[in-house]
């Protein structure tokens, strides 16, 4: 198995004079769920479309599953994509359309039909299997689009804004569905909703002006293993005593919001150990409302990109 499912090196794509991808280099580890985060026009969609072979790059190298750039003869059925702003054929019915897609991928008729039915039912479309696409709501169509990506268990799945337009209940269900594929498939998600990314992804890449501005594991970017925040009920009476309770860590106290932040080396001391040392010292001085591990992705992103 390749270490990287997708490797793009110095990819350049221009629309007229504007560079959408400007020497874009990114290696996606096999089995990870990668979130692409960035402002509008940063190049997230362009990168996905280029990897899927819809767009022709001006320069650069793409290596998909260790077998060169996208080639339908090599990669059909192994890579799928949920493209942004692409309608399904309106006269088609979800079950027959997905069965057709499955068969194009090389599945046998019965296998394709069963896979299509199961996916549609999983995404709560069991009662609309034979309804024309044109009669489905926006959210339902989005779920059909999502279902077609997982037909036949492809190795790489690219999802461009997969949860936009879904109601909160369906969005939560779809998040769980995508997260359940962790380590089984390589999934890349582009989204402006950082909460979605945080819930689902294992890795995150910040994209800006056609380049990767930062790439890393989610836990690393959000400091889940190196930062604890204690939300206190009152000011601690002796901050120095707290520092002595937890040597090797750095404490910062925000008086206005009554938050005590503890930064530490996660490799030397795991968060559980820090918590076990610091918590009795805090409770001896004041009350505690809650504890948070690290930052939210939104906060980490805004801090990083400001």
Partner 1 sequence: MNFFSKIWRVAAYEWFDAIRSRRAIVILLLYLVTAVLGMNGSISMLEKIETQLVETLQLPESKHTGIVSTVIWKSKPFQRMVKSLTRDELVLKDITGKHPVELIYAWFAFLCAPLLVVLVAANRIPEELGSGAVRYQIFRTSRACWSLGKYMGMALMVACAIGIGALGAYVVAAFRLWMGGDSPNFFLGLLQWGFRAWIYSLAFLGLVMGLSHLTHSPNKATVLGILALVACSVLHVLASIHRYTGRLSEVWVYVERLIPSAYKGELWRFSVPPLATASASLVALGFCYLLLGYAFFRRRDV
Residues that bind partner 1 (CB under 8 A): 49, 52-56, 70, 72-73, 75-77, 79-81, 83, 85-92, 100-101, 103-106, 145, 148
Nearer to partner 1, 47 or 70 (CB): 70
Of 51 and 246, nearer to partner 1 (C-beta) is 51
Chain centroid to CA 14: how far?
26
**Cβ neighbour number for residue 12 with a 10 Å cutoff:** 16
Please identify, using beta-carbon distances, which residue of 10 and 96 lies nearer to partner 1.
96
DSSP 6-21: EEEEEEEEEETTEEEE
User: Between 80 and 226, whose beta carbon lies closer to partner 1?
Assistant: 80
Closest separation between CB of residue 204 and partner 1, Å?
25
For the bound state, the minimum distance from the C-beta of residue 37 to partner 1, rounded and expressed in Å, comes to: 23
Nearer to partner 1, 142 or 223 (CB): 142
CA 155 → CA 81, 86, 195, 298, distances in Å? 11, 22, 25, 29
Q: In angstroms, how far is CA 299 from the centroid of its own chain?
A: 16
Closest approach, Cβ 157 to partner 1, in A, equals: 11
Name the token pair of 64.
């998909």
Cβ atoms within 10 Å, residue 8: 23
Say how far apart CA 101 and CA 165 lie, in whole Å: 23
Closest separation between CB of residue 32 and partner 1, Å? 21
In the complex, what is the shortest distance from the CB of residue 190 to partner 1, in angstroms, rounded to a whole number? 15
């Amino acid at each position: 198995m390749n270490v990287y499912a997708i490797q793009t090196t110095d990819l350049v794509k221009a629309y007229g004079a504007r560079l959408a991808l400007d020497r874009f280099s990114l290696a996606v580890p096999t089995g990870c769920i990668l979130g692409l985060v960035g402002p509008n026009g940063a190049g997230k969609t362009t990168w996905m479309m280029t990897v899927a072979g819809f767009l022709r790059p001006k320069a650069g190298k793409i290596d998909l599953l260790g077998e060169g750039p996208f080639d339908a003869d090599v990669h059909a059925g192994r890579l799928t994509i949920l493209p942004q702003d692409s309608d399904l054929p309106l006269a088609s019915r979800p079950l027959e359309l997905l069965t057709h897609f499955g068969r194009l991928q090389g599945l046998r008729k019965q296998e394709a039909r069963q896979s299509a039915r199961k996916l549609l039912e999983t995404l709560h479309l069991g009662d609309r299997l034979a309804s024309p696409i044109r009669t489905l709501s926006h959210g339902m169509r989005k779920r059909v689009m999502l279902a077609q990506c997982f037909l036949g268990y492809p190795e790489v799945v690219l999802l461009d804004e997969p949860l936009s337009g879904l109601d909160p209940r369906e969005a939560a269900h779809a998040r769980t569905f995508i997260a359940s594929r962790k380590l089984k498939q390589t999934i890349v998600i582009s989204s402006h909703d950082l909460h979605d990314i945080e819930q689902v992804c294992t890795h995150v890449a910040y994209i800006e002006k056609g380049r990767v501005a930062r790439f890393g594991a989610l836990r690393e970017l959000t400091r889940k293993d190196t930062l604890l925040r204690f939300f206190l009920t009152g000011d601690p009476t002796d901050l120095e005593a707290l520092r002595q309770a937890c040597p090797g860590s750095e404490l910062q106290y925000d008086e206005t919001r009554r938050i005590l932040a503890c930064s530490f080396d996660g490799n030397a001391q795991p968060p559980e150990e820090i918590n076990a040392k610091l918590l009795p010292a805090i409770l001896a001085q004041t009350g505690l409302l809650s504890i948070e591990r690290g930052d939210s992705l939104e906060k980490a992103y805004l801090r990083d990109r400001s």
